Structure 1
Amino acid sequence: MGIQGTTKTPSPPTRRALLRSAAATAATLAPGIAFAARSDDMAAIRTAVEKGHDAAIARIQDWIKHPTIAAERFQVDEGVAYMSRLAQEAGFTGVRAVPTGGVPAVFGVLDVGAPKWLGIYFMYDVKQFDPKEWSVPPLEGRLVDRPGVGKVVMGRGAVNQKGPEGAFLAALHAFKASGRKLPVNLVLIAEGEEEIASPNFLTAIRDPQVLAAMKKCVGVIIPSAGQAPSGNATITLGAKGAVEMEIVSDSKTWGRGPANDLHSSQFARVDSPAWRLVQALNTLMGPDGHTPAVEGYLDRVTPLTVRQKALIAEAARSGNEADSKKAMGVQRWINDETWEQSLERLASQPTINIQGLVAGYTGQGGKTVLPHRAVAKVEMRLVPDMTKDDSVAKLKAHLIKKGFPDIEVNVTGGYGPTQTPEESSLIKAHKAVLTRAGVPYALSVRSAGSWPGVVFTGDPLHLPAAQFGIGTGNGAHAPDEYFVIEPVNPKVANLTAQSMAYVDLMYEIAALG
């Protein structure tokens, strides 16, 4: 999630200012798109969005009922077929599955003959879930009245990302229903492995047909629920990269320890792969418990700029430290640092985190075994200008240098960090749409979470790419995940307003000089 805050809400514009703005906008619109026509189109499209409201909700609910879980290879073929059907029904043509070596991507174009093209990134896979942890069945997509929040659709994938993507699809259906032509052409690339750190997504981008279409685009967006429960929005200028791996100590590779789990009494004379793993992991981190100790790991870290530090300082002033700590269940930050220092660290620091440790018996009570194998689920979060390949190579070299050549490092997915300039046309368009919608926003340097935007901002495309959307939700990757349809807070966008924001963004992109 990005760093959230607010800017001062602008005063309502005067009639003269609105006329001046209209004239200026009309002068910059692409040929054939006059400002008055745009206003008429927007009104007709909004009517269609409102008429399609129930169908849009049903579409999100049904999508939740058809999950693809890449980590388990669950319903891969079904997910590709479902995503393809959603794209075709929204108006995309040439829809096809793109082979990746893993879960396929889905590609399509919506070419209306407009001068400009916009890239749309979807993810159609979801995280795993344990139904016992949920208050409702996680694949039902049930509508729930949530106290203090409003009417929500609850289910795995609701906010990450099927709800926001459903709001975007509703906008496209409204164009069709109203008989209005899109102001931009669209290229859709939908990924089925985002939740396992996109191990094969770059392969999809390099597909000749996909690459040729993406190169036409002025930028790429991922539909998102970008508002906090307060109604304030965040424009996130980047995201950390992520690399997921398993670090393994195995008796077969080591040549020591038991071939299979052994009675624990034998530890008096037989080596332990579990302790071997613990000792190896301990070399990755400094004595403070949070500074990576891998040689050279931090060499490519680019310090925050003066402007980025200023944005973080503004976020610290407008944010609430107590609320943030309460939401996370923490009492103090690393080194007892200040609120602003914690935000700087969140944006600027690469990490090496242990997600989980698995060895031997982990059930209730004890079991007297000496495990033959131990596994650590590890992730790295990367900042500019670190790369996945360089960071993994340094970690492997570090383990060898420290005397652990037998320790396996099995990378399961990952990508580098992404960053889009604040002055890019895509970010300017985001600002304009939020301002017109009356949504206060703050700029975030980068999200501490990750998405594979680097495949767009890096080689071979070098396009601006960012999350965009209003509305809200919560519980991504957690039980009772939800996406808000009808909020109780009038400052938070409902489903209709969310769809109209995507409509306005497309017109804004078309109007760019």
Structure 2
Amino acid sequence: MDRRHFLNTSLMLGASALFPRAVMAATTGGFYPEVRKAAEANRAADIKRIQDWIALPSIAAENLNMPEGAQYMKALALDAGFDSAEIIPTDGHPGVYAVMDNGAPRTLAVYFMYDVKQFDPAEWSSPPLAGKIVDKPGFGRAIVGRGAVNQKGPEATFLAALHAMRDAGVKPPVNILLVAEGEEEIASPHFQQIVQRPDIMQALKGSEGIFIPASWQDINGGVNVNLGSKGVVELELVASGESWGRGPAADIHSSYKAMVDSPAWRLVQALQSLVTADGNTPAIEGWFENVRPLSAREKELIAEAARSGSEAARKEQLGVARWIDDLPYQQALERLASQPTVNIEGLVAGYTGPGGKTILPGRATAKLDLRLVPNQTRREAETKLRAHLDKRGFSDIEIVVGGGYDPTETAESSAIIQAQLATYRRAGVNATLNPRLAGSWPGAMFTAPPLSLPAGHFGLGHGSGAHAPNEYYVVDSTNPRVAGITDATLGYVDLLYQVAAIG
């Protein structure tokens, strides 16, 4: 396609809110109009792909639809043009590995998860599996459903990019490896078995890095480019009359509290020993001895994020009025990036239905997550938690670890980060470097030895409500600064070209 033909085609197709056409053509070999035309033609099918995927929830915590979820993930990969896709068994739930060999000199890896969080339909204003499209003020029309933004919407949009390129007769400029798991929402207890399979590991070693699709544009169109993520350990602490040797072996009438010990109060006392009196700082012995302070560069990035972001908007989004200790916004962001946490996800003991039920429970359970920062490790955290409880006389409290992994770090100068920044610049999107995502994903499987790959999140578009009721993903944007599904699709196309152009 010569320049004159490209310009004429661009004028016929009209302007887009993101990705000026002349800019996109510079690195797509002039194929941008055809790819956009294909993406626009595929729009209805791309939306339906997300809705259909939402309709099949795979929930690892409930062992729901796990084989079906893996089969569906495999089918999605093959349908998008991967040459091969294989279901990988583990000691837990299976994963999927797919390869697209485009004969390119460079290879890019992408991480998917096909599992989602649990849901209670009574908490949702729209059925969580229906994938209905509703209005979201300030953004446009969005699909509502469990997994809409975490992660099926962004992942399906990446697949939409591959569909659009194939339909336009354009071969992706990089080879693509897809590594998917079905246990991310239970902290990836068996994902390492997939990544460390010799042939998969060898293929990954030859890649430029790995990314997870995302859709984090705020109402002003800005995004964060994360240079790392916190690690996590998910676990339960269990107190029981049986293990303690005190209290009832099963629930008994509450009148006996006058003469019988309570495992529920035992658990409360153990929990309180894990944190300071305000609940905000871990008090586990030795917890901070390996925590690395923020560097001068990390503080500089956080200061810039505080200046460019909206504290009021963030508080409104989270539904909070104050930060811990009434900290100024910049200091609160520093704490978010630098501090490990001990969080109670849930407490379960005795009767929790309507009204009262006068019992003394024989068992109490607390669900916890421990967020870790460099240079902490999962193994260290588990060891120190056990030692802390034992030293304080709580050796009877059982620790049941569900999963977890170490923190991740990726250099600002790495190819995957620079390719992301270039793509955002070309789309006219303000991208702010963020030292560390406070959430977690199993990127440590890739960033740690022996792979030592750069890793990150990338994607245009907007969604919110991960893990919460009414989770959503915007497909029709009425906000000129925020991508809808077609512009988000083109964002992934351009990322592939930016990775291919790495010097």
TM-score by length of 1: 0.91
Report 1:263-412 matches (<5 A).
263-412=253-402
- Residues 336-369 of structure 1 show CA distances to partners (whole Å, capped at 9, x for unaligned) of 2211111100110000011111111122222211
What does residue 218 of structure 1 align with? 208
Distance 2:359 2:177 in 1: 55
User: How far is 1:109 from its partner?
Assistant: 0.3
Q: Which amino acid aligns with 1:457?
A: T
What does residue 451 of structure 1 align with? 441
Higher deviation after alignment, 394-403 or 43-52: 43-52
Residue aligned with 2:375, SS: coil
Report 1:63-462 matches (<5 A).
63-462=53-452
Q: Which amino acid aligns with 2:271?
A: L
User: How far is 1:328 from its partner?
Assistant: 2.2
Q: Which amino acid aligns with 2:64?
A: F
Total equivalences in the alignment: 482
- Residues 429-450 of structure 1 show CA distances to partners (whole Å, capped at 9, x for unaligned) of 1111111111111111111111
Is the 8 Å Cα contact of residues 27 and 497 (structure 2) preserved in structure 1?
Answer: no
Is the 8 Å Cα contact of residues 257 and 271 (structure 1) preserved in structure 2?
Answer: yes
Residue aligned with 1:354, SS: strand
Is the 8 Å Cα contact of residues 463 and 474 (structure 2) preserved in structure 1?
Answer: yes
Distance 2:322 2:138 in 1: 28
Is the 8 Å Cα contact of residues 139 and 482 (structure 2) preserved in structure 1?
Answer: no
Report 1:474-493 matches (<5 A).
474-493=464-483
Distance 1:67 1:214 in 2: 29
What does residue 8 of structure 1 align with? none
Are the structure 2 counterparts of residues 36 and 278 from structure 1 closer, same or farther at C-alpha, using a change threshold of 3 Å?
A: closer
Higher deviation after alignment, 52-61 or 137-146: 137-146
Q: Which amino acid aligns with 1:191?
A: E
- Residues 228-276 of structure 1 show CA distances to partners (whole Å, capped at 9, x for unaligned) of 1221111111111111100011111111111111111112221111111
What does residue 3 of structure 2 align with? none
Q: Which amino acid aligns with 2:202?
A: A
- Residues 139-178 of structure 1 show CA distances to partners (whole Å, capped at 9, x for unaligned) of 1111223333211111111111111111110110112111
User: How far is 1:495 from its partner?
Assistant: 1.0
Distance 2:122 2:332 in 1: 35
Distance 1:494 1:331 in 2: 31
Q: Which amino acid aligns with 1:491?
A: R
Are the structure 2 counterparts of residues 37 and 300 from structure 1 closer, same or farther at C-alpha, using a change threshold of 3 Å?
A: closer
Q: Which amino acid aligns with 1:324?
A: R
What does residue 30 of structure 2 align with? 40
User: How far is 1:457 from its partner?
Assistant: 0.6
What does residue 18 of structure 1 align with? none
Residue aligned with 1:376, SS: strand
Q: Which amino acid aligns with 2:48?
A: A
Q: Which amino acid aligns with 1:503?
A: V
Distance 1:304 1:36 in 2: 39
In the TM superposition, structure 1's runs of 4+ consecutive aligned residues that sit over 3 Å from their partners are none
Distance 2:279 2:163 in 1: 51
Distance 1:37 1:345 in 2: 40
Q: Which amino acid aligns with 2:335?
A: R
Is the 8 Å Cα contact of residues 111 and 212 (structure 2) preserved in structure 1?
Answer: yes
User: How far is 1:37 from its partner?
Assistant: 7.8
What does residue 32 of structure 1 align with? none
- Residues 101-160 of structure 1 show CA distances to partners (whole Å, capped at 9, x for unaligned) of 111110010001111110010111111111111122111111223333211111111111
Is the 8 Å Cα contact of residues 77 and 85 (structure 2) preserved in structure 1?
Answer: yes
What does residue 50 of structure 1 align with? 40
Q: Which amino acid aligns with 1:119?
A: A
What does residue 512 of structure 1 align with? 502
Aligned-pair identity in percent equals 55
Is the 8 Å Cα contact of residues 98 and 207 (structure 1) preserved in structure 2?
Answer: no
Distance 2:28 2:329 in 1: 44
Q: Which amino acid aligns with 1:203?
A: Q
Distance 1:334 1:147 in 2: 29
User: How far is 1:322 from its partner?
Assistant: 2.3
Is the 8 Å Cα contact of residues 237 and 398 (structure 2) preserved in structure 1?
Answer: yes
User: How far is 1:36 from its partner?
Assistant: 6.3
Distance 1:287 1:368 in 2: 29
Distance 2:352 2:165 in 1: 54
User: How far is 1:209 from its partner?
Assistant: 2.3
Is the 8 Å Cα contact of residues 27 and 498 (structure 2) preserved in structure 1?
Answer: no
Higher deviation after alignment, 446-455 or 360-369: 360-369
TM-score by length of 2: 0.93
Q: Which amino acid aligns with 1:366?
A: G
